[in-house]
Each structure stands twice: as structure tokens, then as C-alpha cells.
Chains A and B, each alone.
Chain A
């Protein structure tokens, strides 16, 4: 990893100003993304992973404000670009696919129309040319009879087909970064595997970097090279997928891994993390995970843990990570 990262996120802070108070959805998130790699961002719902991706794309609604931090894409500070310059990057350099293909496609326009839109916009080609590209893309993402499908509306396609069409749309301008926000959560398990396989294949072919946002450790294991584990708006652990899965250095990661159902252990009770994700309006003092942490100590209420490098490329926000040494992931 001596290369220059293609995307650098530094101390990103995105707050929502609601009537009830300030929601610190993203509170000091940092990570790097290198060309061709897959970074998994994992966490429970409400941990700020989607907001992080929307902040990178600058697609937040008016209630949200980016309070600080930097997003550097190939030397450009995205948060300082004008809206017009940002539009040239969206869909062209950085593309995104969303969780629910049912609602992420516009129901009143054909699939082809929606794919061609970005091609015509960014690549300045004629409509007939864009149509050809769209049909090729649909074929590439494994949609049968692409010449026919291109003129169909989203409701005429199955869920898996729609997500394939979404992928085709996102890839239409050969982006350097693809952000996939829970791309398989809404799909059947069998379709999930197909979509993940397709994304890996296309990533290799296009050489693009992928940010895979998910709450599913299984998806991370399947796709990611490196992982950022998020909890309550912060990255709590960050490292290679091997390290994270085999030697987790944060009690939260440990708890997440323990709650994956396993086939190799007989009649094991399904583990869950006690308690719920804290109310973002009212985070607990100190380490935000301490009320749910099996290893919490008295000091945890008073410290504001920072990410520390514990081994090359492996960071944790738990100063007491050593308690996990020798503890096996159950």
C-alpha cells in the first residue's frame, strides 16, 4: 500500500440540525481508498455509513451540514468544489448504487432512458450512440435480451434485474470509484451472491475502487480488501479484512463477528449485541460503545478514544484492545 490513495477522507463531520437537536451522524471519520481495492464500511443501521457516502457525493439534504473535514479525490478537495464542478464528478468519476433497486429507479422512464442520461451528459455522445452503449452495458451486467429490456420500465423487471440495471447505470461512464450502499440488502440470498460476483468481476475489468457499505459481515468477507467498522458516527476499527476477521482489536468488531450465525458449530444460540444503537441526539459520554461493551471499565466513561495503529495498517479506537488477545471469536 505504498501507492497514493485515490480518495482520502479526513476527519469528516456531518451533523443534522433537527428540531430536537444536533444529530452527529458522522463525527470525525477518516479513511483512504486505493485504486482497484474494495473498502468495506460496516456497522449497524444509524452508525453513519450511508451519511458518510452521501457526504462524499455531496448529496445530503438541507438539514445536514458538513461541519468539518476533507474529502480529497485525486488531489481535489471535493467539499470545496462548486456545485457545478461537483456535478461533473458525480456519475462520471464517482458513481453510486443504492440499496433498493425498486425505488432507486424512476418508475416513469425506461431503463435505457435512465442509463443513457448519464452517458449523454458526461460523454457528450449522440443519443443513438448512447443507446448502443446502454445495450452493451445491459448485456455486460448479465441482463438477457438487452435490446428488448432497454425499452422496458423498472416495474417490468425483477428485483435482481433492476439492481443489475442500476449497476449498468452506475458504470455507464466508467467511474474510478463506485460507492455501493447496501447493494444486496433488498435482494434474495441467491441473487445477492450473483450481484456481488458481478460487482467483483466488473471491478476487476474496470480497475475501479469500490466502497462497499453494508451491515452484513458476510458481504464484507466476500468482497472487501480492507474494512472500516463504524459505530455511532465514528470509525472504531480499521484494517485489512484478514486482520479484522481473525484478530479483531475492538470489542464492537468482536461482538459483530460473534453475532454471525455459524454452520460449523452445532446448536449454537444466536448471539446478539446487548442494547441498541445509542440515540444520536444523546450519545453516551466517553467511548460511545461502553454501555454495550462486555469489556467496559470505569475509565471508558471518561475517555474519548482516538484511532491508534496497533500493527501496520490496523487501527483501533479501543485503548484496552489487549483484553481481546487470546479471546476467540465465538
Chain B
């Protein structure tokens, strides 16, 4: 197992390097002028003198051969220089850093309800095949499956905010903002709910959670549909395998048969889908962020794309790719943990 992980970790930098090639290559398509403009605040850029422009060109290697330019760019990226975001009205790195904790917060709280419950429902349905509970779960899945997320999200907002007033949109209430911007509030993890707990502010913690519930319900409902169908069919397939009959023939309790012998095998294909979902959560969920008026990566990058904010798009792409590569590494390690044929094969 250790050898497998080390092998995978050694490949990781190579893949990330490949990612930087692609993104750097794409940036070159902009041409030198737009490329240079993407690095600087446009208000400043317009007032630059010729010498200052030359100095900038030199700094970003626009007068140098491609290899040197790549070196300078990579050096900049590693030091957090991703250019200026028009949409974020700040440096791309700052704009990303402001949003990543919010996206990560939603992702962290959504993992269990989305993936955990989705898998649980799928297994329940499979084990109770063709019984009432299976039909109920499947009808529920079809409804979730056929709902566009923006419609479902709006329903949640209408019912739980407009009608009941329980789940407000946004990341937190206005009164929270003053407190968290004051010097009394210490940032430790930058995940607001955790920091609130660490600062002993349970009221802020609850406020943040209240704002997370709506988005989590929306994502869960829609993603469960997909996840539980995959889990259900995978579980049904495994339950028909001969080794399940062998396990029963040993006299094992049906609970042991399902929990020990069936689940682990059934979860192998589910890991891929569930893992991809978690990666998506960390990359930001555009529609949910827009509907619930949340600050987050998804809506930021979407906006950057519509406004041709090249620096922000490239910065976002770099972040997404890194998350994807690291996420896939984790999925592969999980795979190997579940299935000995992968780690020993």
C-alpha cells in the first residue's frame, strides 16, 4: 500500500507540471498585448509610461523566448502572481483566497449529506429491492433527476426563505459582518463556522450554518438522484454475485453479508462518482451560489468568463486543475484501500 501511494505521489508533480504547460500555452494565445494587460489593474495600466511598460514586459518575459517566459510565469505563479482580476477588482490570488474558504466551507458540510446519504439511500433501495422503500427511493430519485437545479434551488428559497423565513440567502447575516471584521475576531482556519466556534461565538456559528442549509438541501437532492441510482445498481449486481451466496452458505447473518461482503465491493464504482462529486463541490457550484447569493468560487469564475477576465479565468483554471489532480489522487488511494486487486495487481 505504501509503495502504491509513494508511486502515485511521485507522479503528482509531473501531472501538475503538465497542467501548467497547458494553462501557460492557452495564455499565449492571447497575444503579448492582452497578456500584459491581464497582469495589471486596468486603471493603472492606461497611465503607464513607455518605460514602465517595457519594464513590465521584461518582468513577465514577453521579450524573452518561450522557455524563459514560462520560467518567469511559473515563478510568478508559485509566488502568487496570477495577474489582476477585473471582476474581483483585486489581484487574482487575493480574489481566489477570499472565495476559497467559503466554497470549502459549503463543500465540507455538504460531503456527508450529499455523498454519505446518497450512498446510504442506494444501498437501502438495493437491499429492499422491489419493496415499498425501494419504490419510494426510486420515485424520489426520478423527481430529483428531472428537476433542473435552478428550479429546485428557487423552490427551496421560496419555501424556506420567502414563506417560512428560516433559511436566508447569502453567506451570513449583516450583523455578523461587523463582528468578523473587527479585531476581536481571530481568523484561524478561515472557514467561518470553525473560526466562530474557536472564537466561542456560537451565535455566529449557527448563523453560518443556517445559511448553508438551503444550498446543501439543493445540492443533495439533485445529486442523490444520480448517486443512489449508481449505488443501487452496483449493489444489486454485487448481491447477485456468487461470493455473496458463499457468504450466506457459511451461515453468516444477512447483516454481515451485506455490510461486510456486499458493501465493500459495491462501493468500488461508487467511489469514482462520489469522488467526482466531492471534487465538484470544492471547485464551486455556480448555480447554487447564484441562487442563494453566496460568495464562492463558482460564481466568481463564471462571471470572469462572461466578462473575459482572462487572468481570473486562468487563475481559476489553475485552481480547478490542481483540485482535480489532487482529488483524483485521493480517489485512487481510496480505490486501492477498498480493492486489493488494484494495489497488488
Q: CB within 8 Å of B: which residues of A?
A: 57, 59, 87-92, 95-96, 98-100, 103-110, 114, 117-118, 121-122, 153, 155-156, 166, 169
If the complex has contacts A106-B243, A155-B345, are A59 and B248 also in contact, measured as CB distance less than 8 A?
yes
**A87 and B252 contact, CB distance less than 8 A:** yes
Return B337 CB to nearest CB of chain A, in Å.
Answer: 10
**A156 and B251 contact, CB distance less than 8 A:** no
**A100 and B242 contact, CB distance less than 8 A:** yes
**B245 and A59 contact, CB distance less than 8 A:** yes
Return A37 CB to nearest CB of chain B, in Å.
Answer: 22
Contacts of B27 in A (CB 8 A): none
**A90 and B251 contact, CB distance less than 8 A:** yes
Return A126 CB to nearest CB of chain B, in Å.
Answer: 18
The residue from B250, B338, B345 contacting A91, defined by CB atoms under 8 A apart: B250
**A108 and B265 contact, CB distance less than 8 A:** yes
Contacts of B78 in A (CB 8 A): none
**A106 and B249 contact, CB distance less than 8 A:** no
**A107 and B248 contact, CB distance less than 8 A:** no
What 8 pairs between A and B have smallest CB-CB spacing?
A91-B251, A90-B251, A91-B250, A106-B243, A118-B250, A153-B340, A96-B249, A103-B242
Contacts of B51 in A (CB 8 A): none
Q: How far is A77 from B211 in the complex, measured between Cα atoms in Å?
A: 62
The residue from A87, A156, A166 contacting B344, defined by CB atoms under 8 A apart: A156
- What are 9 contact pairs spanning A and B, CB under 8 A? A57-B249, A96-B246, A100-B242, A103-B241, A108-B338, A117-B250, A117-B252, A121-B252, A155-B340
Q: How far is A63 from B13 in the complex, measured between Cα atoms in Å?
A: 53
Contacts of A87 in B (CB 8 A): 251-253
Identity of the chain B residue whose Cβ is nearest the Cβ of A93 in the assembled complex: B251
Q: CB within 8 Å of A: which residues of B?
A: 241-243, 245-253, 260-261, 264-265, 338-341, 344-345
Contacts of A107 in B (CB 8 A): 243, 265, 339-341
The residue from B249, B265, B341 contacting A59, defined by CB atoms under 8 A apart: B249
**A92 and B242 contact, CB distance less than 8 A:** no
Contacts of B250 in A (CB 8 A): 90-91, 95, 117-118, 121, 169
Identity of the chain A residue whose Cβ is nearest the Cβ of B240 in the assembled complex: A61
**A88 and B261 contact, CB distance less than 8 A:** no
Q: Among the interface residues B248, B249, B253, B260, which one has the most CB atoms of the partner chain A within 10 A?
A: B249
Identity of the chain B residue whose Cβ is nearest the Cβ of A103 in the assembled complex: B242
Return A95 CB to nearest CB of chain B, in Å.
Answer: 7
Beyond A91-B252, A118-B251: 16 further Cβ-contacts under 8 Å? A90-B248, A91-B251, A96-B249, A103-B241, A103-B243, A104-B242, A106-B243, A106-B247, A106-B265, A107-B341, A108-B338, A108-B340, A109-B261, A117-B250, A153-B344, A155-B341
Return A175 CB to nearest CB of chain B, in Å.
Answer: 10
Q: How far is A88 from B252 in the complex, measured between Cα atoms in Å?
A: 9
Return A240 CB to nearest CB of chain B, in Å.
Answer: 29
Contacts of B249 in A (CB 8 A): 57, 59, 90-91, 95-96, 98
**B246 and A104 contact, CB distance less than 8 A:** yes
**A98 and B245 contact, CB distance less than 8 A:** yes
Contacts of B248 in A (CB 8 A): 59, 90
Return B239 CB to nearest CB of chain A, in Å.
Answer: 9
Return B250 CB to nearest CB of chain A, in Å.
Answer: 4
Contacts of B265 in A (CB 8 A): 106-108
Return B91 CB to nearest CB of chain A, in Å.
Answer: 48
Return B243 CB to nearest CB of chain A, in Å.
Answer: 4
Q: How far is A140 from B44 in the complex, measured between Cα atoms in Å?
A: 84
Identity of the chain B residue whose Cβ is nearest the Cβ of A179 in the assembled complex: B249
Return A33 CB to nearest CB of chain B, in Å.
Answer: 17
Q: How far is A98 from B247 in the complex, measured between Cα atoms in Å?
A: 12
**A105 and B252 contact, CB distance less than 8 A:** no
**A105 and B340 contact, CB distance less than 8 A:** no
Contacts of A109 in B (CB 8 A): 260-261
Q: How far is A88 from B251 in the complex, measured between Cα atoms in Å?
A: 6
Return A282 CB to nearest CB of chain B, in Å.
Answer: 26
**B345 and A121 contact, CB distance less than 8 A:** no
If the complex has contacts A103-B243, A156-B344, are A108 and B253 also in contact, measured as CB distance less than 8 A?
no
Contacts of B341 in A (CB 8 A): 107, 153, 155
Q: How far is A329 from B57 in the complex, measured between Cα atoms in Å?
A: 98
Identity of the chain B residue whose Cβ is nearest the Cβ of A170 in the assembled complex: B249
Contacts of B345 in A (CB 8 A): 155
Q: How far is A12 from B253 in the complex, measured between Cα atoms in Å?
A: 26
Q: How far is A118 from B245 in the complex, measured between Cα atoms in Å?
A: 14
Contacts of A103 in B (CB 8 A): 241-243
Contacts of B242 in A (CB 8 A): 98-100, 103-104
**A105 and B243 contact, CB distance less than 8 A:** yes
**A89 and B251 contact, CB distance less than 8 A:** yes
Q: How far is A318 from B249 in the complex, measured between Cα atoms in Å?
A: 35
**B251 and A106 contact, CB distance less than 8 A:** no
**B253 and A105 contact, CB distance less than 8 A:** no
Q: How far is A98 from B244 in the complex, measured between Cα atoms in Å?
A: 12
Contacts of A106 in B (CB 8 A): 243, 246-247, 261, 265
Return A236 CB to nearest CB of chain B, in Å.
Answer: 27
Contacts of B252 in A (CB 8 A): 87, 91, 117-118, 121
Q: How far is A121 from B248 in the complex, measured between Cα atoms in Å?
A: 12
Return A60 CB to nearest CB of chain B, in Å.
Answer: 10
Q: How far is A90 from B250 in the complex, measured between Cα atoms in Å?
A: 6
Q: Among the interface residues B250, B252, B345, which one has the most CB atoms of the partner chain A within 10 A?
A: B250
